[in-house]
Chains A and B, each alone.
Chain A
Amino acid sequence: MDLDLNWMAWTWQTAVFFLTILTFLISMTIWCVVSPQVPRKGILRFETTRGDRLFISLLGSAFICLGWLGFIGGPLWGALGVCFIYAGSVFRWV
Chain B
Amino acid sequence: MDKPFNNKAWFLVLPVVILVAFSAVIPLMTVVNYSVQDTFGNNAFFWVGTEWFQEMITSERFHNSLIRQFMFTGIILAIEIPLGIFVALNMPKKGWGVPVSLVLMSLPLLVPWNVVGTIWQVFGREDIGLLGAALNGMGIDYNYTQNIFDAWATIIAMDVWHWTSLVALLCYAGLASIPEAYYQAAKIDGASRWATFRYIELPKMQRVLLIAFLLRFMDSFMIYTEPLVVTGGGPGNSTTLLSIDLVKMAIGQFDLGPAAAFSIIYFLIILLISWALYTIMTNYDKGESK
Q: Does B150 sit within 8 A of A, measured CB to CB?
A: no
Asked if B33 and A8 sit within 8 Å, CB to CB, the answer is: yes
Query: Which of A14, A46, A55 is in CB contact (< 8 Å) with B32?
Result: A14
Closest B residue to A36 using CB positions: B4
User: Does A18 sit at the interface, judged by CB under 8 A?
Assistant: yes
Q: Please, how many angstroms separate the alpha-carbon atoms of A33 and B268 in the complex?
A: 30
Chain A residue with minimal CB distance to B35? A14
Q: Nearest Cβ in chain B — how far from A72, in angstroms?
A: 10
Complexed CA–CA distance, A12 and B270 (Å): 28
Q: Are B49 and A63 in contact, CB atoms less than 8 angstroms apart?
A: no
If A13-B47, A37-B4, A70-B58 touch, whether A59 touches B271 (CB-CB below 8 Å) is yes
Contacts of B49 in A (CB 8 A): 74-75
Task: Give the dominant DSSP class at A's interface.
Answer: helix
Write out the residue numbers on chain A whose beta carbons fall within 8 Å of the beta carbon of B53. 65-66, 69
Interface assignment of B265: CB less than 8 Å from any CB of chain A: yes
In the bound complex, CA of A70 to CA of B261 (Å):
13
Q: Which residues of chain B come closer than 8 Å to A29, judged between CB atoms? A: 7
Are the C-beta atoms of B50 and A55 separated by less than 8 Å? no
Residues of B within 8 A of A (CB): 2, 4-7, 26, 29-30, 32-34, 36-37, 39, 43, 45, 47, 49-51, 53-54, 57-58, 265, 268, 271-272, 275, 279, 283, 286
- Identify 19 residue pairs between A and B in the complex whose beta-carbon atoms are under 8 Å apart, listed by A's number: A9-B33, A9-B43, A13-B47, A14-B29, A14-B36, A36-B4, A37-B4, A38-B2, A46-B279, A47-B283, A59-B275, A63-B272, A66-B53, A66-B265, A69-B53, A69-B58, A70-B58, A74-B50, A74-B54
Residues of A participating in the B interface, judged by any CB pair closer than 8 Å? 6, 8-11, 13-14, 17-18, 29, 32-33, 36-38, 46-47, 49, 55, 59, 62-63, 65-66, 69-70, 73-76
A-B contact sample (16 more), CB < 8 A, given A8-B30, A66-B265: A9-B30, A10-B33, A11-B45, A13-B36, A18-B29, A29-B7, A32-B5, A46-B283, A59-B271, A63-B268, A63-B272, A66-B53, A69-B53, A70-B54, A70-B58, A74-B49
